[in-house]
Amino acid sequence: MIDHYEESANNFLELSSHQRLQIIFKLLEKKSKIAIMAKELGSTNQEVHRNFTRLEDGGFITKDKDGFYSLTTYGMTICSQVPSIVFLSQNRKYFEDHDFGDIPTKFIMRIGQLSAGKHLKGISYTLEQWKSIYKNANQYIYETVSEIPLDKIEPLVQRVKKGTKYHYVLSESAVIPKGRKKLLKELEFDGLIDDGLVERKMAKTVQVVVVLNEKEASVAFPNIDGESDITELFYSDDPMFHEWCLDYFRYCWYGSDVFHESKIKE
């Protein structure tokens, strides 16, 4: 086991260079020669040659008979892991008082898919972003919900009335504002359920909040006490970011129970 750790440490050492990381991600896009790479990076042939040699000796890249370098299977797989480190490094301060809650390990292993996300802070910013996601939706709106701000209900319902399907998972302990039932009645929400435009389920708790449509997504992680926190979130229209959020919503959806209105307390 110690030998495995030493080998892993050596691999991290080979990647502890800004230029070597640039090289492997450039080679992920297409194969290249030293002179071409040097020009793209604005560096000297000598420096790039030195880093190519280190990456080749480490098994990350290989050279063909025409002098072009490309990633090995090992190097390509390493590339797939780097975005996780990038995401956590970029958001280290955020994760000082947030964690991943009850997310299964398989989703944490894919956390690099969120590296393109933009960090938004402040309840006014997060609510406006959600409203924008509603407004831009054509096919569907999916959510896992820990609380229901009153001023987001109407723009959501108005979008659903235009034919957008709405599926959501609500926590049994969700924070529900006074006036919710009255507003839903005024907006004829029950009719949308009867028409099949709204489907809902219920979970014991919702720690991780996701809000997404068919093109864009957002995710908010809980604080270190395991409580959901919608005052900060990550947002992106990047396909990989969206895929993570969509897969996580589906995981929650299929693992949730039947919705019981009687459990909701305003």
- How does pLDDT run along the chain (266 residues), one tens digit per residue? 445 556 655 666 667 788 998 998 899 889 999 999 999 999 999 999 999 999 998 899 999 999 999 999 998 888 888 888 889 989 999 999 999 999 999 999 999 999 999 999 999 999 999 999 999 999 999 999 999 888 899 999 999 999 999 999 999 988 888 889 899 999 999 999 999 999 999 999 999 999 999 999 999 999 999 999 999 999 999 999 999 999 999 999 999 999 998 888 87
User: Is 209 in contact with 144 (CB distance < 8 Å)?
Assistant: yes
Task: Convert 14-43 into a string of H (helix), E (strand) and C (coil).
Answer: HHCCHHHHHHHHHHHHCCECHHHHHHHHCC
Nearest to 234 by CA among 257, 218, 221, 210: 218
| Integer Cα distance of 135 and 117 in angstroms | 20
Domains of the chain: 2-81 (1.10.10.10), 91-263 (3.30.870.10)
Q: How far is CA 178 from the centre of its chain?
A: 32
Residues 6+ apart with CB under 8 A from 224: 97, 98, 99
Bridge partner residues of 154 (DSSP): none
Crossing angle of helices 2-15 and 73-90, rounded to 10°: 80
**Which pairs count as long-range contacts for 75-79, CB under 8 Å and 24+ apart, including other chains?**
75/24, 75/27, 76/28, 78/11, 78/15, 78/24, 79/24, 79/25, 79/28
Q: What is the pTM of this model?
A: 0.83
